[in-house]
């Protein structure tokens, strides 16, 4: 697996946290995406990986960080885990290479496929309905109409939002 | 041992009594598992616990004893907890944005309920996050600011008729007495504990006391108060309202085991009327929509007799 192309990929691809709300719960990390109202629960090692991407970090950087706690973890596994988290919208991924050769793409695909079976990360995502939808009635400027709750007393629904009467 | 002493008279009230025992002291990190916290009870009362707003708090009570509970109960309450933590995080982010925008515009605001109480629980998200209740300087218009910064994913409530009806101090007077707490780096004004407890008690009564988490909030506030607690400020100058507040605090003690600050006056230390406790338990036994009208009707009838 240690082909030059893959080594290059491990160094040149950078990962950075997306702007999500993070909360530590028990041994896990909860990430909440306000735009999509989705909560992502990351197990311990996935949470550590995400936290290690505070600034643009490569898989090699993250591996060095993780090895203080998980000495046997491999760079390829970390790279595949970070890529998967990027695909789930938890990380931004940037690569120094503008053009990826077909051969390299194939190598990446194979690496990703192989590593996927043994990835230590667990990410559970759940949609959290916005609080407005859970409220019994809408206050000032709350969305109304359609499936939204009706406006509270003292307000009426005007152009999709609750306005004062 | 729960301090709960009532003798329920019906099946429904029995359920509410068990609910009270489940919630009693649940905001404290207990060193033992209460007998009422069993898989059977938590499964049977799941609907009531959820509508009570206490699912995350229940998870807090049981998570140290996971092997003693069934997998389905663990998953159910764990999911509710994660949901509540996510909502609290979003609620806090929105509150921080709105408060910072108001401050930048020189608009004074006081946070009522919500995070001002949630921050006193051992962890964020143990109580449900509802509206963002802000009391705004009545001389200022905030609509344009709200339109600019609010994501509208959280309801913002600026209308608090309870304050107009029951408080005889002005916004300026309240603002001057507020405590300043920080959410992230944003300073937020909150009422002193004594005022918060009175506001919560009146809010609890106004809505028919149907949500047990509101009584937990009162208990948490009482227990986070220090020895310098000013009972005369908490109960207010109106004797009748002072009895309402006193009864509600006593109810938090009797149903949920709330520890009351020392040197409480008699209206707090004596037992609340039996009809009041029974009525609240009947409300708690109904997991459907709030039943404030029926409560108000019963209350008026009793008060006139």
Nearest-angstrom CA–CA distance, A162 and A150: 8
The verdict on A105 and A85 lying in the same domain is yes
Question: Which residue on chain B is closest to A39 by alpha carbon?
Answer: B86
Tokens of A9: 């990929």
A77 and A47 assigned to the same domain:
yes
Report chain B (305 residues): mean pLDDT per 10 consecutive residues. 41 86 92 88 91 93 94 93 93 94 94 95 92 89 83 80 84 96 96 96 91 96 91 93 95 96 88 94 74 44 43
Q: Do A122 and A160 lie in a common domain?
A: no
* Residue among A32, A141, A143 minimizing CB distance to B147: A141
From CA A22, how far away is CA B112, in angstroms rounded? 25
Could you say which residues of chain A have pLDDT below 50? 1, 133
- The ipTM (two decimal places) reads 0.75
Number of structural domains, chain A? 2
Q: Looking at residue A97, what is its pLDDT?
A: 60
Among the partner residues A21, A140, A143, nearest to B89 by beta-carbon distance: A21
Q: CA triplet B241, B243, B244: central angle to 5 degrees?
A: 65
Are B110 and B189 spatial neighbours (Cβ–Cβ below 8 Å)? yes
Q: Contacts of residue A21 in chain B, CB cutoff 8 Å?
A: 89-90, 93
Do B152 and A142 count as a contact with CB atoms less than 8 A apart?
Answer: yes
Q: What is the pLDDT of residues B225-244, one digit of tens each?
A: 988 899 999 999 899 999 99
Inter-chain residue contact A25 with B143, CB threshold 8 Å: no
User: For residue B155, what are its two tokens?
Assistant: 């309801």
CA A68 to chain B, closest CA, distance in angstroms equals 28
Contact A32 B86 (CB under 8 A): yes
CA–CA gap between residue B294 and residue B300 (Å, rounded):
10
Shared-domain flag, residues A77 and A146: no
Using an 8 Å Cβ cutoff, are B142 and B104 in contact?
A: no
Q: Are strands A38-42 and A28-33 parallel, antiparallel or unpaired?
A: antiparallel
Partner-chain contact B153 A140, CB within 8 Å: no
Q: According to the model, what pLDDT value does residue A110 have?
A: 65
A68 plus A146 within the same structural domain: no
DSSP character for A151? Answer: B
Residues, chain B: 305
Instruction: Find, in chain B, the residue whose alpha carbon is nearest to that of A151.
Output: B155
Same domain, A142 and A111: no
The whole-model pTM stands at: 0.81
C-alpha dist (Å) from residue B93 to B31, B79, B117: 33, 21, 16
The pLDDT value recorded for residue B289 is 45
Q: Is the distance from CB of A13 to CB of A112 less than 8 angstroms?
A: no
- For residues A138 and A63, state if they share a domain: no
* φ/ψ of residue A25, rounded to 5: -130, 120
Name every chain B residue with its beta carbon within 8 A of the beta carbon of A140. Answer: 143, 146, 156-159
CATH number at residue A14: 3.90.930.60
**Do A120 and A143 fall within a single domain?**
no
The alpha carbon of residue B257 is apart from the nearest alpha carbon of chain A, in Å, by 27
Q: Do residues A28 and A84 both lie within one domain?
A: yes
Cα torsion A96, A102, A107, A108: sign: positive
- Residue A84 CB: number of other CB atoms within 10 A? 18
- Residue A149 and residue A90 in one domain: no
Backbone dihedral region for residue A31 (phi beyond 0: left; psi -120 to 50: alpha; all else: beta): beta
Strand A14-17 relative to strand A161-164: parallel, antiparallel, unpaired? unpaired
Domain enclosing residue A147, as ranges: 130-164
Contacts of B82 in chain A (CB under 8 A): 25, 30, 39, 41, 126
Residue A114 shares a structural domain with residue A151 = no
Q: Which residues of B249-263 are buried (b: 16+ CB within 10 A; e: fewer)?
A: bbbbbbbbbbebbee
Q: Same domain, yes or no, for A22 and A37?
A: yes
- Give A138's DSSP letter: B
The closest CB to that of B93, out of A30, A34, A141, belongs to A34
């Amino acid at each position: 697996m240690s082909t030059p192309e893959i080594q290059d990929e491990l160094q040149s691809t950078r990962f950075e946290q997306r702007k999500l709300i993070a909360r530590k719960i028990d041994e896990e990390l909860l990430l909440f995406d306000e735009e999509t109202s989705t909560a992502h629960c990351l197990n311990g090692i996935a949470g550590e990986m995400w936290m290690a991407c505070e600034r643009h970090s490569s898989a090699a950087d993250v591996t060095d960080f993780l090895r203080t706690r998980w000495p046997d973890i491999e760079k390829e596994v970390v790279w595949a885990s970070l890529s998967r988290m990027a695909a789930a919208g938890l990380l931004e991924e940037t690569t120094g290479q503008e053009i990826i050769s077909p051969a390299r793409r194939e190598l990446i695909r194979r690496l990703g496929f192989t590593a996927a079976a043994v990835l230590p990360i667990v990410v559970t995502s759940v949609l959290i309905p916005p609080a407005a939808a859970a409220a019994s009635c809408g206050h000032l400027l709350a969305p109304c109409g359609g499936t939204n709750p009706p406006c509270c007393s003292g307000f009426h629904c005007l152009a999709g939002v609750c306005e004062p009467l | 041992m729960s301090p709960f002493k009532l003798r329920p008279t019906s099946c429904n009230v029995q359920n509410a009594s068990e609910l009270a025992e489940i919630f009693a002291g649940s905001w404290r990190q207990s060193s033992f598992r209460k007998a009422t916290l069993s898989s059977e009870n938590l499964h049977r009362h799941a609907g009531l616990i959820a509508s009570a707003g206490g699912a995350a708090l229940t998870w807090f009570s049981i998570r140290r004893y996971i092997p003693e509970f069934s997998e389905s109960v663990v998953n159910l309450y764990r999911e509710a907890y994660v949901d509540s933590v996510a909502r609290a995080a979003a609620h806090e982010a929105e509150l921080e944005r709105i408060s910072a925008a108001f401050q930048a515009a020189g608009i004074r605001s006081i946070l009522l309920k919500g995070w001002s109480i949630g921050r006193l629980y051992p962890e964020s998200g143990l109580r449900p996050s509802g509206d963002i209740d802000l009391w705004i300087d009545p001389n200022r218009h905030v609509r344009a600011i709200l339109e600019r910064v609010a994501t509208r994913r959280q309801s913002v409530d600026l209308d608090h008729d309870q304050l107009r009806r029951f408080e005889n101090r002005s916004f300026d007077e309240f603002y001057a007495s507020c405590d300043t707490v920080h959410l992230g780096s944003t300073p937020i004004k909150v009422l002193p504990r004594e005022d918060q407890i009175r506001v919560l008690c009146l809010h609890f009564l106004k809505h028919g006391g149907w949500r047990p988490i509101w009584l937990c909030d009162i208990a948490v506030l009482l227990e986070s108060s220090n020895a310098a607690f000013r009972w005369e400020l908490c109960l207010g100058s109106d004797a009748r309202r002072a009895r309402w507040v006193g009864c509600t605090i006593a109810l938090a003690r009797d149903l949920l085991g709330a520890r009351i600050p020392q040197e409480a006056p008699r209206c707090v230390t004596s037992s609340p009327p039996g009809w009041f406790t029974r009525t609240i338990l009947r409300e708690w036994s109904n997991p459907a929509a709030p039943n404030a009208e029926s409560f108000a009707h019963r209350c008026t009838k009793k008060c006139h007799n």
